[in-house]
Copies of this chain bind each other. A is one copy, B any other.
Amino acid sequence: MSSRDDVRSLAIAELGSFHVGGREATLTGLAPRELRLTPAAPVLEVDPNGEFEVEQMYVQFVRLASPRAPYPLLMWHGGGMSGVAWETTPDGRPGWQELFLRYGHDVYVSDAVERGRASWARFPEVFATEPFFRSKQEAWEGFRIGPTWAKDPSERVAHTDSQFPVDSFDQFAKQLVPRWATNDGCTQAAYDQLVQRVGPCVLLAHSQGGVFALRAAAAAPGLVKAVILIEPGGAPDPDLEDISAIRDIPLLRVWGDHIDGNELWSGLRRSCERYTAAHIGQGGVADSIDLPAEGINGNSHLLMMDRNSDGVGAMVQQWLERQGLAAPFRG
């Protein structure tokens, strides 16, 4: 009826989703619970025991009619977040999911075990501990949006050069999800199964997802064609883990601003630099885009949501082109 002919359309063959990984858990011996569905309803007795599917992850795919990249791009989110991070920026611009579809990649966006549509399981019966909820202050400061948090938006202090869409911070905070500290094993197992299911692919991982991506690459070096680390939350210790399997896998890491002087992020960057130095030492390719060093200032930890997210994405795409993992953009 209406027409959007002014918008360049994407030709999509298929979109859908699946869950991968996980196991069946059986709960027994739990006392019945009383459930009242509405204040006026009678009390029902509910049995909390039985079989449950747990520790699976969720994967949503969009496959192009005519992809121009040789392998799909798997987008893995960071800690306390879900695949929503890739979909749209908090101020409503297209996210990297759509950007990289337009660049010609099939895109798989996942929610790791315990996050978003992956679902979560009872604790302490299945998940060993209770989860953590990231406060807005922790996100404001930890994601390097600004030095000073305040409940009143007008009193919050962002970095003067911040690229984050600060006026949309509360909208961003709506996408935060609880996280557990004790699910790394089953999360890695599900990511490894995802790579086996998709086959040859490129990994694009943010923050906490970076560690999972490097280990997934080491577990399936024949399938992972490159790993792109967006502000990685550290890396495995190359003195403690054998990284020889990834020797032929090119790595790219991309860093925002205001890391110097930030104890947490300086430490995580050092951890990552030790890993990439070891990879270069074994003859591997490990490139770095340090945005401030290139004269691009003010990026937060959330590069894919910052106001210059399209520009940062274009730099990632150019690197993929140089690796032979993307076709030049035809516009």
Contact = CB atoms under 8 A, between A and B. Distances in A.
Contacts of A26: 151
Contacts of A5: 65-66
Contacts of A62: 15
Contact of A151 (B10, B51, B117, B132): B51
A58 B175 CA distance: 8
Interface in A11-38: 11-19, 22, 24, 26, 33, 35-38
A9 B65 contact: yes
B11 A69 contact: no
A9 B12 contact: yes
Nearest to A88: B16
A278 interface: no
* Secondary structure of the A contact surface, majority rule: mixed
Task: Count chain B CB atoms within 10 A of each CB in A10, A56, A97 and give the residue with the most.
Answer: A10
Interface stretch (A135-143, A242-250, A295-303, A309-317): A135-143
A137 B14 CA distance: 32
A281 to B, nearest CB: 25
A70 B2 CA distance: 7
Contacts of A274: none
A66 B46 CA distance: 48
Task: Count chain B CB atoms within 10 A of each CB in A2, A138, A171 and give the residue with the most.
Answer: A2
A87 B11 contact: no
Interface string A151-193: 1000000000000000000110111111001001000000000
Nearest to A119: B177
Contacts of A33: 132
B174 A56 contact: yes
Contact of A17 (B7, B64, B88, B177): B88
A330 interface: no
Given A24-B170, A137-B51, A69 B15 contact: no
A11 B14 contact: no
Given A133-B122, A137-B50, A4 B66 contact: yes
Interface of A: 1-5, 7, 9-19, 22, 24, 26, 33, 35-38, 46-53, 56, 58, 60, 62-70, 82-84, 87-88, 92, 94-95, 97-98, 101, 111, 116-117, 119-122, 132-133, 135-138, 151, 170-171, 173-178, 181, 184, 327
The list of the 10 closest CB pairs from A to B, nearest first, reads A50-B135, A9-B65, A16-B88, A19-B174, A9-B11, A116-B117, A7-B13, A56-B174, A53-B173, A17-B87
